[in-house]
């Protein structure tokens, strides 16, 4: 779904609701104002609901914003604000739940006309806050690498890759909006929000005053409970992310890689370093005239096509489809079956494009640069992948440890007519090294020891592989954690944002087979191994 289709659906719903209010209940004072109430209320309820499904996703997005704000304000006249953002980041989850509940509650209050003056002002302030976030995100596209946001004279042409936060998270993972679109959306919402402030006395009201208050209070309480249910003791009940149950990470990654490899350069956009003049010309023209634009004076940027065709309807191809760039008929047929089922390909010519997602970033390391991604995703049997984007320790101390270094010497010994070299201990040297000692939080260890590891032990005894992936960490930390939890399976490392995307639980458990996500569990909902085997493992 696109933002245009969503707005259309919301507008139709708002129109029908307005007509019902006007002709069915006669509660409308101003038809246009009531339509705007219903439209904005429905939009806020929907946008808040898709975030309430996954409040941790919003919290992670807020952490990104707080980190960028800290970096932006540091070293400027506003540096006194920088320390506030790490503190806010530590409460990102609570902030996320509050914002989600507040957004939906405002939407409900707009629909029923509860506390009209308060609702009007609160709606305006929230829209201003959203506009600030989306505006900051969009405008960072004009800030080159190494330039602070407040150095306005050093801003350059808009470059999408300059943005540190590439998605505002306005609709969670349900719809990914370009920052410019998000910013314009919020600019548009400023219009009705200002109208509400000046015309709040004409806003419609449904039900009695007591009923409106009860709906707002009880609705907020129910929303808080709903948010908690989607991360405190269970996973989001709807998964909009690319690692949802049924997705095949191995095949999706292959398709996205093929799509990116098939991108073609269509034109070049060149920018004069001195004047900021921007010239865009087709590839053929640039190849003829490139000598007129020396790199010392012009910045060069490729303008690429949409990711090229991955799947094409073709009567000559096997089963009517072809996937360019694939070697091996068996693998090609596996991909064809997967995409036909995923996209329900039928009819005449069908073209599909794939955008880059976190699936393409799936990489896990066993240390020293050894990539184990292919090994993980190509395992034809069932395997258990434990995801922990962070291992929580209470305290880290640096201690001195004495190691004994044995120094050997070689002696020559005559044996009969020959001479042999014999190794002997020359001396023992003591060497002092520094080592980190970790003290782990019992609250974090308990889920591993009492819930996760018993299931994994039973799985390994039954012949299935188990492994954990955590954020990049020093070997000493992993060794200490494995000892503290009694985990005898391997621990790999990966990017923490990737791990947060895979499963919204720490730890979270993923059942894989040949790269396909068979099932995912919050650790508080993890069944016994026998139940998992009976229900999900054929």
Q: List, as one string, the DSSP characters of 512-525.
A: EETTEEEEEEEGGG
Q: pLDDT class for 403, splitting at 50, 70, 90?
A: low
Per-residue pLDDT averaged across 349-377, rounded? 80
Q: pLDDT class for 364, splitting at 50, 70, 90?
A: very high
Rounded Cα gap, residues 166 and 536, in angstroms? 37
Q: pLDDT class for 342, splitting at 50, 70, 90?
A: confident
Q: pLDDT class for 309, splitting at 50, 70, 90?
A: very low
Other C-beta atoms closer than 10 Å to the C-beta of 236 total: 22
Residue in the structure block whose two tokens are 């503290």: 484
Rounded Cα gap, residues 201 and 120, in angstroms? 10
pLDDT at 184 over 60: yes
* Residue 425: its H or E element: strand 418-440
Give me 526's structure tokens. 């993890």
Work out the percent of the chain whose per-residue pLDDT is above 70. Answer: 89
Per-residue pLDDT averaged across 162-182, rounded? 81
Cross-strand bridge partners of residue 489: none
Please list, in sequence order, all residues whose beta carbon lies within 8 angstroms of the beta carbon of residue 29, skipping any fewer than 6 positions away: 202, 203, 204
- pLDDT given at position 306: 60
Per-residue pLDDT averaged across 3-25, rounded? 90
74 alpha carbon, distance to own chain's centre: 26
Stronger pLDDT, 71 or 312, i.e. the higher one = 71
Per-residue pLDDT averaged across 97-103, rounded? 94
What letter would DSSP give residue 366? -
**In 489-506, which positions are buried (b, 16+ CB within 10 angstroms) versus exposed (e)?**
bebbbbbbebbbbbbbbb
- pLDDT given at position 423: 76
pLDDT at 37 over 50: yes
Other C-beta atoms closer than 10 Å to the C-beta of 342 total: 16
Could you give the angle at which helices 453-461 and 529-536 cross, rounded to 10 degrees? 60
Q: pLDDT class for 4, splitting at 50, 70, 90?
A: confident
3-state secondary structure 98-142: HHHHHHHHHHHHHHHCCCHHHHHHHHHHHHHHHHHHHHHHHHHHH
Stronger pLDDT, 385 or 414, i.e. the higher one = 385
Please list, in sequence order, all residues whose beta carbon lies within 8 angstroms of the beta carbon of residue 128, skipping any fewer than 6 positions away: 190, 193
Measured CA to CA in angstroms, residue 57 lies from 63, 255, 499 at distances of 10, 25, 12
* pTM strictly above 0.85: no
From its phi and psi, is residue 245 left (phi > 0), alpha (psi between -120 and 50) or beta? beta
Please list, in sequence order, all residues whose beta carbon lies within 8 angstroms of the beta carbon of residue 271, skipping any fewer than 6 positions away: 156, 157, 277, 278, 279, 298, 299, 301
pLDDT at 161 over 80: no
Q: For residues 398 and 435, is the Cβ–Cβ distance under 8 A?
A: yes
Q: For residues 168 and 179, is the Cβ–Cβ distance under 8 A?
A: yes
- pLDDT given at position 312: 46
Give the closest residue to 136 by CA, choosing from 148, 149, 126: 149
Lowest average pLDDT, out of 129-133, 288-292, 467-471, goes to: 288-292
Mean pLDDT of the chain: 85
Could you give the angle at which helices 55-73 and 31-52 cross, rounded to 10 degrees? 90
409-449 per-position pLDDT tens digit: 777 777 666 777 777 777 777 676 667 788 888 899 999 99
DSSP line for 186-234: HHHHHHHHHHHHHSGGGS---S-HHHHHHHHHHHHHHHHHHHHHTTTSS
Rounded Cα gap, residues 224 and 41, in angstroms? 19
Lowest average pLDDT, out of 27-31, 211-215, 486-490, goes to: 27-31
Stronger pLDDT, 164 or 459, i.e. the higher one = 459
Per-residue pLDDT averaged across 509-522, rounded? 95
Rounded Cα gap, residues 280 and 268, in angstroms? 6
Q: pLDDT class for 328, splitting at 50, 70, 90?
A: low
- pLDDT given at position 402: 62
Per-residue pLDDT averaged across 271-279, rounded? 78
Lowest average pLDDT, out of 62-66, 184-188, 277-281, goes to: 277-281
pLDDT at 110 over 80: yes
Per-residue pLDDT averaged across 79-104, rounded? 91
pLDDT at 341 over 90: no
Per-residue pLDDT averaged across 254-261, rounded? 76
Rounded Cα gap, residues 441 and 153, in angstroms? 49
- pLDDT given at position 19: 92
Measured CA to CA in angstroms, residue 290 lies from 134, 270, 294, 377, 472 at distances of 37, 10, 7, 45, 43
- pLDDT given at position 424: 75
pLDDT at 123 over 50: yes
* Residue 420: its H or E element: strand 418-440
41-63 per-position pLDDT tens digit: 999 999 999 999 999 999 998 88
Rounded Cα gap, residues 190 and 324, in angstroms? 47
* Burial class of residue 536, CB neighbours in 10 A (0-12, 13-18, 19+): middle
Could you give the angle at which helices 31-52 and 3-20 cross, rounded to 10 degrees? 130
Give me 320's structure tokens. 């009517």
- pLDDT given at position 404: 72
Per-residue pLDDT averaged across 12-26, rounded? 88
Q: For residues 338 and 248, is the Cβ–Cβ distance under 8 A?
A: yes
- pLDDT given at position 142: 86
Rounded Cα gap, residues 175 and 173, in angstroms? 6
**In 78-115, which positions are buried (b, 16+ CB within 10 angstroms) versus exposed (e)?**
eeeebeebeeebeebbebbbebbbbbbbbbbbbbbbbb
The beta-strand segments (E) located in 273-372 are: 278-282, 298-304, 311-313, 321-322, 351-352
Q: For residues 420 and 413, is the Cβ–Cβ distance under 8 A?
A: yes
Rounded Cα gap, residues 441 and 306, in angstroms? 48
Stronger pLDDT, 304 or 522, i.e. the higher one = 522
């Amino acid at each position: 779904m696109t933002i245009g289709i969503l707005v259309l659906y919301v507008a139709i719903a708002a129109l029908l609701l307005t007509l019902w209010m006007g002709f069915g209940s006669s509660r409308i004072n101003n038809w246009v104002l009531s339509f705007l109430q219903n439209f904005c209320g429905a939009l806020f309820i929907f946008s808040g609901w898709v975030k309430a499904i996954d409040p941790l996703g919003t919290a992670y997005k807020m952490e990104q914003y707080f980190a960028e704000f800290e970096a932006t304000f540091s070293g400027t006249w506003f540096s006194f604000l920088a320390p506030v953002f790490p503190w806010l980041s530590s409460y990102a989850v609570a902030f996320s739940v509050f914002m989600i509940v507040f957004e939906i509650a405002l939407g409900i209050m707009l629909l029923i006309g509860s506390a009209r003056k308060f609702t009007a002002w609160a709606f305006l302030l929230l829209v201003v806050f959203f506009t600030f976030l989306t505006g900051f995100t969009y405008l960072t596209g004009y800030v080159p690498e190494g330039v602070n946001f407040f150095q306005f004279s050093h801003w350059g042409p808009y470059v999408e890759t300059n943005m540190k936060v590439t998605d505002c998270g306005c609709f969670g993972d349900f719809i990914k909006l370009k920052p410019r679109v998000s910013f314009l959306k919020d600019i548009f919402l400023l219009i009705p929000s200002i109208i509400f402030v000046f015309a709040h006395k004409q806003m419609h009201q449904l039900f009695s005053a007591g009923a409106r208050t009860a709906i707002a209070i009880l609705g907020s309480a129910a929303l808080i409970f709903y948010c908690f249910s989607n991360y405190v003791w269970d996973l989001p009940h709807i998964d909009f992310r690319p690692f949802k149950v049924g997705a095949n990470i191995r095949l999706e990654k292959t398709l996205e890689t093929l799509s990116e490899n098939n991108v073609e350069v269509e034109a070049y956009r060149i920018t004069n370093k001195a004047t900021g003049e921007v010239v865009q010309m087709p590839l053929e023209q640039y190849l003829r005239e490139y000598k007129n634009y020396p790199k010392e004076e012009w910045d060069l940027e490729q303008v690429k096509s949409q990711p090229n065709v991955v799947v094409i309807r073709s009567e000559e191809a096997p089963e009517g489809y072809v996937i360019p760039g694939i070697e091996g008929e068996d693998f090609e047929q596996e991909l064809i079956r997967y995409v036909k089922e995923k996209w329900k390909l039928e009819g005449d010519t069908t073209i599909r494009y794939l955008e880059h997602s976190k699936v393409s970033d799936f990489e896990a390391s066993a240390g020293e640069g050894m990539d184990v991604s292919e090994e993980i995703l190509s395992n034809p049997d069932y395997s258990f992948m434990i995801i922990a984007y962070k291992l929580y320790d209470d305290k880290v101390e640096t201690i001195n440890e004495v190691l004994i270094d044995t120094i050997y010497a070689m002696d020559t010994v005559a044996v009969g007519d020959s001479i042999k070299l014999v190794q002997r201990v020359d001396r023992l040297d003591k060497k002092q090294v520094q080592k980190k000692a970790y003290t782990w939080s019992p609250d974090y260890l308990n889920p591993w020891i009492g819930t996760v590891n018993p299931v994994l032990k039973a799985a390994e005894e039954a012949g299935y592989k188990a492994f954990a992936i955590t954020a990049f960490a020093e070997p000493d930390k992993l060794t200490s954690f494995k000892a503290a939890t009694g985990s005898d399976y391997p621990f790999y490392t990966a990017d923490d944002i990737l791990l947060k995307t895979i499963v919204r639980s720490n730890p979270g458990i993923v059942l894989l087979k040949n790269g396909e996500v068979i099932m995912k569990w919050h650790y508080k909902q993890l069944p016994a191994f026998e139940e998992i085997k009976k229900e999900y493992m054929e």
